[in-house]
């Protein structure tokens, strides 16, 4: 999958934490498996991602600018379910 995002209204990109991660679906009390594919502070707007395992994958954004922003996420690619 290819992804691209941009933050509208972001005056200073350094306090913005952006993270793409995945985790397995829990079937017991065991914690499961989690992987950070890409994370960092600032503007990390483009990338290619490959999910290495079945589970839940997604983005997390933390805006410590204390001002409202809007994040636009664009995705392209395909999904193969076995």
What ranges do the domains of the chain cover? Answer: 2-76
Q: What is the pLDDT of residues 4-17, one digit of tens each?
A: 888 888 888 788 88
The b/e string for 13-26 (b: 16+ C-beta within 10 A; e otherwise) is eeebebebebeeee
Number of neighbours of residue 75 by Cβ within 10 angstroms? 10
Q: In what order do the strands lie in the sheet with 46-48?
A: 46-48, 2-8, 70-76
Q: Are 52 and 23 in contact (CB under 8 A)?
A: no
Is the pLDDT score of 74 beyond 60? Answer: yes
Q: What is the pLDDT of residues 15-63, one digit of tens each?
A: 888 888 888 888 888 888 888 777 777 666 677 777 778 888 888 888 8
């Amino acid at each position: 999958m290819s992804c691209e995002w941009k933050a509208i209204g972001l005056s200073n990109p350094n306090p913005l934490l952006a993270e793409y991660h995945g985790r397995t679906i829990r079937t017991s009390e065991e914690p499961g498996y989690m992987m950070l594919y890409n994370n960092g502070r600032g503007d990390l707007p483009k990338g290619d991602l490959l999910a290495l395992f079945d589970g839940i994958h997604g983005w997390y954004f933390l805006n410590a600018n204390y001002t409202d922003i809007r994040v636009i996420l664009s995705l392209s690619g395909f999904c193969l379910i076995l």
